[in-house]
Amino acid sequence: MNRQPTLVVATHNPGKLAEFSRLLANVPWRICDLVEAGFDAELIEPADDYAGNAIAKAEQVCNALAMPVLADDSGIEVMALQGWPGPHSARWLGRAASPRDRLVGLINEVDKRCPGDRRVRYVAAVALARPGAATVVACGSCDGLLVEPKGSGGFAYDPGFFSNDLGVTFGEATEEQKDGVSHRARALRRLVEVHLLNPTENWVS
């Protein structure tokens, strides 16, 4: 009888963990969070780009646990501000700021610095680190507008991200709707198709 391989999701964000669990529901893996895996260190984010941070987190946990690990880095980019805050989306207002504070603060910054242009996009990079194999990464994005908060679903900037694909904010969308078009879902689908549907014996623990 084949043992189902375990995949650790490297995030301390419960919203991300729930989203990854939904998006990976149909792949032949048992999803494991950091607590269950026994990893309690702070995740490092040393890079100025999404892929660099995703790779760093995945490899940090993979090296510690000797298990396949999935990690992501994501952010919201304001078109009129050349992509700011981007990879710094969770930190630009300070780590103590709440998601609501960051969203309202970003709206205020956009209206002050580029009034009348609220075009934004969500971007995500998802990295898969595996013992004895090269780390791989895939990226995804989705376009929208920055709006006053609507809805209570999702996490991070979701209530203020009006999706061009859905015609509602991610805060208003159902989980199924968001999972069909989100930046994280698009990145993960690319990774899954190539590397997670048919895991090979030389790197599965």
Taking the CA atoms of residue 98, residue 21, residue 138 and residue 63 in that order, the dihedral angle to the nearest 10 degrees is 90
Residue 159: name the closest of 168, 149, 148 by CA: 149
CA distance 157 to 159: 6
Give Cα 157 distance to the centre of its chain: 12
Residue the block writes with tokens 């689908």: 189
Q: How far is CA 77 from the centre of its chain?
A: 14
Task: Please count the residues of the chain.
Answer: 205
Alpha helices (H) in the chain, listed in sequence order? 14-23, 34-37, 50-65, 99-113, 175-181, 183-191
Residue 104: other Cβ atoms inside 10 A = 16
- Active-site positions? 73
